A and B are shown apart, each in its own frame.
Chain A
Amino acid sequence: SQQGEEDPQALSIQEGENATMNCSYKTSINNLQWYRQNSGRGLVHLILIRSNEREKHSGRLRVTLDTSKKSSSLLITASRAADTASYFCATVYRMDSSYKLIFGSGTRLLVRP
């Protein structure tokens, strides 16, 4: 399957610490996106990184992409209790005449106050 796979599946950290989540995928991609989902809610788009980019920042978020290793990482710096959520990577790749957005299984982040 083309699904990205996140690692770790679950992460528990203390408020103020950094959280790092990793995503691996299988085939060439157009771009990779990270989403956050609070319990029982829809997903919120966080950041998009294109296949020709290596690093991108947005506020306390830093995303890296290594296309040679087919992997990406999401770093949340100075975490807050409100960052507690599930985080999903989603890969965009071309299949036939359209682009597809396929999600991984997510990392559940718990930030302890």
Chain B
Amino acid sequence: DTGVSQNPRHKITKRGQNVTFRCDPISEHNRLYWYRQTLGQGPEFLTYFQNEAQLEKSRLLSDRFSAERPKGSFSTLEIQRTEQGDSAMYLCASSLISPGIGGNYGYTFGSGTRLTVV
């Protein structure tokens, strides 16, 4: 297990099309996060899973966005009817424990999926 893996690395799609991204976290990590990052900005939180349960969703996650983690392992993020404003880097991260409880570990991020909507 070499870290968090995201696929695809790049996705170009036409406005109105649906896209799906996949994230494979570190196998021992039960917590999985999705963030979105636009150019020149820090990552913005989208949603969070603990095992297969989606425990939190940001207001940024409109009804066109849906995320799943069916077996508590990999996760998918789907965007329906894409808009140009959806163009961004979508980052997945995983962690073993809550960021506020114990340890000196942060999140482990994948390399991201860069989405371009044309």
Interface residues of A (CB under 8 A from B): 3, 30-31, 33, 35, 40-45, 48, 88, 90, 92-94, 98-106
Residues on A with beta carbons closer than 8 Å to the beta carbon of B105: 45, 48
Residue contact A45 to B40, C-beta cutoff 8 Å: no
Residue contact B111 to A42, C-beta cutoff 8 Å: yes
Do A98 and B106 contact each other (CB < 8 Å), given the known contacts A31-B99, A42-B4, A105-B40? no
Residues on B with beta carbons closer than 8 Å to the beta carbon of A94: 100
| Tally of B interface residues using CB under 8 Å | 30
Question: Is the contact region of chain A dominated by helix, strand, or loop, or is it mixed?
Answer: strand
B109 on interface, CB distance cutoff 8 Å:
yes
A29 nearest CB across to chain B (Å):
9
B114 on interface, CB distance cutoff 8 Å:
yes
Interface residues of B (CB under 8 A from A): 4, 6, 33, 35, 40-45, 48, 55-56, 89, 91, 93, 98-101, 104-112, 114
Residues on A with beta carbons closer than 8 Å to the beta carbon of B110: 42
Alpha-carbon gap, A18 to B117, bound state (A): 40
Do A45 and B108 contact each other (CB < 8 Å), given the known contacts A3-B42, A98-B56, A103-B43? yes
Most chain-B CB neighbours within 10 Å: which of A30, A31, A101? Answer: A101
Q: Which residue of A lies closest to B109 (CB)?
A: A42
B43 nearest CB across to chain A (Å):
5
Residue contact B99 to A35, C-beta cutoff 8 Å: no
**Additional A-B contacts beyond A45-B107, A98-B98 (13; CB < 8 A):** A3-B42, A42-B4, A42-B93, A42-B109, A43-B93, A44-B109, A45-B106, A48-B104, A98-B55, A100-B99, A101-B33, A101-B45, A103-B35
